[in-house]
Amino acid sequence: MATVLITGASDGLGRALAEDLAAAGHRLLLHGRNPERLAQVAAATGGEVFIADFASLAEVRRLAADVAARHSRLDVLVNNAGVGFEVGSTSRETSADGHELRLAVNHLAPALLTEELLPLLRRSAPARIVNVASVGQQLFDFDDPQHERDFSQADAYCRSKLAMISHTAHLAARLAGTGVTVNALHPATFMATTMTKASGVDAQEPLEKGVAATRRLVDHPDLAAVTGAYFHSEEPSSPSDPLALDDAYTDRLAALTRRLIDASAV
């Protein structure tokens, strides 16, 4: 039985994954920002509730501290929480720290949470980090990191998700030999979730497909030693642009990510 932290567990893929893992006997730590919905998931799965809004990096730090204070081990971290997009929308939003919202929630928050929990994950090794990305991908613009020019929610979402894949590769190299693996995946395309409905796009693939793909990275024994990989559902794949995995690119993105996170701590 593994101890698994799932972010964004109050709805959609996170909730369905929690129910699936609970049925297999895993101990669940459930993160969300809606106490009522999260309480329902906890009642159904026996999971432990952690409330935090990923639009605030201070709350992300508090979440990591709470998890570390309450638990002596963490076997799996599933970075699933995210903000989607509305097709055609050019409405730009910012986080509590002043970052473009999708950059903040989909990339900076999971990067920070992972970093803060690395000591616990290392002590729990073998351990796994699973980053829920997307097939919607766009290279990061280092000249416009906050996406202030020609903004669209869809582009911002795609930038944040490819950044997560690049971060996965960079972190895997850092963690080589520690017993902590990190992989990313596109679980399924426009699953039947609240996020898909809000985007204005019809559902295309069943939620169950995304759950099965994510579950493999959580506890399938054949993937125990796999790290730094990106999967399209259950198939090994490559990001949309090979530059996303170039060492110079991932190093540059990691340095910028660190600066943006550190600036929010001042």
- Rounded to 5 degrees, φ, ψ at 167 are -65, -35
Active site residue 157: yes
Residue of 157, 230, 231, 249 with catalytic role: 157
Query: How deeply is 155 buried, as exposed, middle or buried, from its count of CB atoms within 10 A (0-12, 13-18, 19+)?
Result: middle
**Which residue type occupies 235?**
E
pLDDT band at 233 (very low <50, low <70, confident <90, very high): very high
Confidence (pLDDT) at 199: 64
Q: What is the dihedral of CA 264, 37, 217, 76, to 10 degrees?
A: 60
The number of CA neighbours under 13 Å toward the Cβ of 40 is 9
Q: Find the helix packing angle between 109-123 and 247-264, rounded to 10°.
A: 100
User: With pLDDT > 70 as the criterion, what percentage of the chain qualifies?
Assistant: 95
* Residue 243 binned pLDDT confidence (cut-offs 50, 70, 90): very high
Q: What is the DSSP string of 230-251?
A: EEETTEEE--SSGGGG-HHHHH
DSSP letter for 3, please: E
- Concatenated DSSP letters of 47-68: PEEEE--TT-HHHHHHHHHHHH
Pair 35, 51: CB distance under 8 Å: yes
Task: Find the DSSP H helices in 2-103.
Answer: 12-23, 35-45, 57-70, 101-103
Q: Is the pLDDT of residue 164 over 60?
A: yes
What average pLDDT does the chain have? 95
Q: Is the pTM of this model over 0.75?
A: yes
Residue 190 has what pLDDT? Answer: 72
pLDDT higher than threshold 90 for residue 266: no
Residue-number span of the structural domain to which 44 is assigned: 3-264
Average pLDDT over residues 8-22: 96
**pLDDT, position 73:** 97
**Are the C-beta atoms of residues 107 and 54 closer than 8 Å to each other?**
no
Question: What pLDDT sits at residue 197?
Answer: 56
Residue 191: what residue type?
M
- Write the CB contacts of 144 (distance below 8 Å, at least 6 apart in sequence): none
CA distance 36 to 130: 26
Residue 203: its pLDDT value, please?
63
Report the distance separating Cα 86 and Cα 194, nearest Å: 12
- Cβ 199 vs Cβ 187: under 8 Å: no
Task: List the Cα angle 94/100/101 in 5-degree steps.
Answer: 65
pLDDT in tens, 77-136: 999 999 998 888 999 999 999 999 999 999 999 999 999 999 999 999 999 999 999 999
Length of the chain, in residues: 266
Order of strands, sheet of 127-132, starting from the edge strand that comes earlier in the sequence: 48-51, 27-32, 3-6, 76-79, 127-132, 180-186, 230-232, 235-237
CATH number at residue 132: 3.40.50.720
pLDDT interval class at 255 (50, 70, 90): very high
Tell me what pLDDT residue 198 has.
66
Structural domain total, the chain: 1
Comparing 40-54, 145-159, 203-217, 237-251, the range with the smallest average pLDDT is: 203-217
